[in-house]
Structure formats: structure tokens, C-alpha cells
Structure 1
């Protein structure tokens, strides 16, 4: 993992040097559930900030991490759908996200003003509005999520506004093993049997759509079951 990440960090940093002062470098990192895209996104963001600090000691962070989880539809919105039982069961599928709101964020971030993005509160299982500050000094924004590179509107338009589009590839069996552990640990499933059922009937179904319907990708990162990819 280290060699892959270092190369991507170096590439992003080199691209950033050519970005005009009034603009941002925007990177989208996608992959199926359990691929390790969150791990990669946070690692790249931290490495870019460390690189910036080494060259500009005492400066504010130059990079920010922005997951798309805050654009989950609320449980109330899912309950208002024509088939609420299916909507709740399929939470995490593309249709259970507010893609248009995500696109609006991406468009707004082309300006250097401070913007607040929503996060996802796992305690209440709903988005938390205006929880992630993306400030003017955050001139690199790393977006992460299942659908940030999906070849379907409005995600396609958002992906087209990115400077870099990266995709984390993983074996579905590896992703399933990670998802089972995660669902049990988070209390989403009571045991591994229930967690496996959720992975098979929802997460990996979504994963197939993500793999089969992605936009053109600039970089493919391979996630394996090693120490560098313990968690997503």
C-alpha cells in the first residue's frame, strides 16, 4: 500500500503546484463498500498536509477530506418513499442518496469561500448538517464515496468537475469479509450471519453497479488484505 499511496500523493502534490491561487484541486476516490477507499482518502489527505507543513511550517492544513456519507437520505425521507421497507433495506444504494445536493457542493467548492458539508452521525443513523468545514485554506479537497465516480447523473456531472478520479479495486470476497466484521462491530447486524446477508443482498449488489458503471478513471489502486488495508 505504501508505494501506491506515495505515488498518488506525489502526483497530487505536483498537480497542486500548477493550481491558480483562487482555485482548488479536487480529487474523487471511489470503490465498492469495503474496498478501503476511506482509509486511502484519509491517508492521502494526511500525507498532503504533512508535505505542506514540511514546506510551510506553522501554516494551516491545505487538504481536507470530504466523505459523501452526509448525503444519505434521512430515515424520514426513506420512510416517505413508495416502498419504505425496500428503501430502508437498501440504504446505501444509489437511490438512497441526495446526488443533486452533492453536485451542488462540488460546484460551490470551485470557489475559495468557506463551505460546510454534512457528515453522517452513526449514533442517530442520519446526516448531520453543516458539520465538515471546508475553509478557504483547504485548497485540496479529497472526496470519498461509493458513487463519486458513478457514470449516472447527477454523479457523472460531479465526477466531471474533479481534477483526479481514483478507483480502489478489491476482490469481492475480501470486501465481504471486511463488511461482515464492520456491520457486527457497528451494531448494524446482530451476528456474522445477519451481516453476511446484508453484505450479499445490499452492499455487494451496490458494489456491482459501482464497478460496472464508473466514469473514466485516472488511477486504479489495488486493495489487498494486508496491514495497510485493515479498515475502510
Structure 2
């Protein structure tokens, strides 16, 4: 992303960060679209005005996915605690004075969620959240959009997105044939579903 585009997005996010209020900015997009990278860069540039709470902390644990028979579809909408994510967003919007809210994170090395990992102080005016299904309108996901003040949909070059996604899986332990098969059979099915929510975004962000 070029510096001018990043500066413009930072300025737009900064307008949401009004002291004394609590707003939530969502970054949506397909697996490998660059959501976590952009979210982290925005939070860093906002100098303490924002906290990052990824949707991925609401992955179901591996043991539960195995119990449900969903391990081979990890990353699909029904492999997350969507209702729990929505409940956290509602709690974050309330921002009770003097109360720090703790959000879960996702450890990619362990491939597991880790509870209570991300503190969100009550005086932080903006929460940035990112994930695949912020614009999904089925089941418990349907309540998420109304809890977000703005949602940006990231739209990268598809060839580069798939390449980056394969490389990420390899970096975190999958052998290359397994990574390529997982992207082809799982991640890309999820990407097609994510794309159906594009029209519900406030802004579409081209990502190089």
C-alpha cells in the first residue's frame, strides 16, 4: 500500500476516534486480503487512540472442531463463536468507565484461540476489528454489521492474495502441497462467501 493511500485511510480512521466516545471500525475481506496488516498499521499510526481486536480470537478450539467434525473446514463461518464475537462487540461499544475489557487473540503458531489476551482500556475511543465475516448476513453473523460504525472491504489482486495465503500457511507449518490444497479447497470457498458481502461495506479499499 502506497504512503498516500495509507495516510488517507489513517485520516478517515482518525475521524472515528473521538475522545469520550467509543466507535468500532471493521476491516473485512477474503482470507489473505491483508486485513491484519492494515489493521495493525492503522492502530500503530493512531498513537494510542485505537486498539486492535481481531475476529480470529473467536475460532473454536481444535478439540471442539474435532468433536463437531469440522476440522477440515476450519475458517468457515460455523467454525467460529459468532455469537460470542457479537457479544464482545456490544460490550466494547458500551465502554464502561474504569472497566478494561479483555478480548481473545488467535495464536497462529498454536492454531488456537487464547482467551483474555487483548486489553481494551475504557478511554480508548476506537476499536479496530478485522475478519472474514464482518459483512456476512446469515445466522449469528447477521448482528455484527449493526455493531460497527464503519466497515471497509479490502480488495487485493487475487493472484497475489492466493500466493500470500499459501506462503502464510507454509510459514506456520503446513508443507507446500498441503498448503496449496487447503487454499484451493477451503480458503477459496470461504473467499467466495466473503465476497457476497462486499456491497454492504462503507468503503472498498484496493490493496496492491
With normalisation by structure 1, the TM-score equals: 0.83
Report the 3-state secondary structure (helix = DSSP H, G, I; strand = E; otherwise coil) of the residue aligned with 2:139.
coil
Q: Which of 113, 138, 148 is matched with 1:127 structurally?
A: 113
Q: Quote how far apart the aligned CAs of 1:142 are.
A: 0.2
Q: Which of 166, 173, 176 is matched with 2:162 structurally?
A: 176
Q: Superposed, which structure 2 residues align to 1:54-203 within 5 Å?
A: 61-81=48-68, 84=69, 87-113=70-96, 114-187=100-173, 189-191=174-176, 193-203=177-187
* Count of residue correspondences: 204
What residue number does 1:45 align with?
A: 43
- Contact 1:105/1:117 (8 A) holds in 2: yes
Higher-Rg structure is 1
Q: Quote how far apart the aligned CAs of 1:213 are.
A: 3.2
With normalisation by structure 2, the TM-score equals: 0.92
Q: Quote how far apart the aligned CAs of 1:206 are.
A: 0.3
Report the 3-state secondary structure (helix = DSSP H, G, I; strand = E; otherwise coil) of the residue aligned with 1:123.
coil
Q: Quote how far apart the aligned CAs of 1:14 are.
A: 2.3
What residue number does 1:55 align with?
A: none
- Contact 1:67/1:119 (8 A) holds in 2: yes
| Residues 24, 181 of structure 1: alpha-carbon distance in 2 compared, 3 angstrom cutoff | same
What residue number does 1:204 align with?
A: 188
Give distance in 1, aligned partners of 2:58 and 2:189. Answer: 20
Give distance in 2, aligned partners of 1:213 and 1:219. Answer: 12
For residues 21-77 of structure 1, give each alpha carbon's deviation from its aligned partner in whole angstroms, at most 9, with x where no partner exists. Answer: 1x302100011011111111111111112xxxxxxxxxxx22101111110001111
| Structure 1, gaps ≥5 residues long | 50-60, 225-232
Give distance in 2, aligned partners of 1:11 and 1:179. Answer: 28
What residue number does 2:204 align with?
A: 220
For residues 84-134 of structure 1, give each alpha carbon's deviation from its aligned partner in whole angstroms, at most 9, with x where no partner exists. Answer: 2xx111101111000000000001011223110111123332111111111
Give distance in 1, aligned partners of 2:155 and 2:59. Answer: 23
- Contact 1:176/1:196 (8 A) holds in 2: no
| Structure 2, gaps ≥5 residues long | none
